[in-house]
């Protein structure tokens, strides 16, 4: 079976708290292979485009402001069942509802600032990896 791709983003709160290494180590220990990662700062326009599916929702403007508030670390990951397994690893959107031992439960302060993004379907995993990485930048192509 070909491994699936998912996109993680270590969000600006993760970078501000200096937790990039710690969170990435947990991701790697859980069996994900890192195909690519970089640190960038999203413009408000880019953050809005990435989260376009949420446009019009009450939290959208705050989400765009937060995601463009400082550098973040998009990470292209691969694993069998990557999308579902990654969402299990990070836990529910609201850290108060996240299962014990999950990354959001352990490190996140609020539903709005929840440390890490994970794709929500295999199709979006591919689309979101391509949002941040050219195919030639990914491990198997370099």
Q: Considering the complex, what minimum distance in angstroms separates the CB of residue 114 from Mg ion? A: 10
Paired tokens of 29: 């220990």
Q: Considering the complex, what minimum distance in angstroms separates the CB of residue 136 from Mg ion? A: 27
Choosing among Mg ion, ligand DAT, none, which partner's interface includes residue 63 (Cβ < 5 to 8 Å by kind)?
ligand DAT
**For residue 142, how many other CB atoms are within 10 A of its CB?**
8
Q: Which residues bind ligand DAT (CB under 6 A)?
A: 54, 59, 63, 93, 111-112, 114, 117, 120
54 is catalytic: no
Site for Mg ion in 82-141 (CB under 5 A): 120
Q: Considering the complex, what minimum distance in angstroms separates the CB of residue 9 from ligand DAT? A: 9
25 vs 96 by CB, closer to Mg ion: 96
Paired tokens of 9: 């983003």
Selected catalytic residue, list 5, 104, 105, 117: 117
Residues designated catalytic: 117
Interface with Mg ion by CB under 5 A: which residues?
Answer: 120
């Amino acid at each position: 079976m070909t491994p699936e791709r998912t996109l993680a983003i270590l969000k600006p709160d993760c970078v501000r708290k200096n937790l990039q290494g710690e969170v990435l180590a947990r991701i790697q220990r859980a069996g994900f292979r890192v195909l690519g990662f970089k640190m960038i700062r999203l413009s408000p326009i880019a953050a809005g485009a990435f989260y376009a599916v949420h446009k019009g929702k009450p939290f959208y403007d705050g989400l765009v402001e937060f995601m463009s508030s400082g550098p973040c670390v998009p990470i292209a990951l691969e694993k069998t069942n990557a999308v579902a397994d990654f969402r299990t690893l990070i836990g529910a959107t609201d850290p108060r509802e996240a299962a014990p031992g999950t990354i959001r439960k352990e490190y996140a302060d609020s539903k709005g600032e929840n440390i890490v993004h994970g794709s929500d379907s295999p199709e979006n995993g591919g689309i979101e990896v391509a949002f941040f990485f050219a195919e030639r930048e990914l491990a198997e192509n370099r």
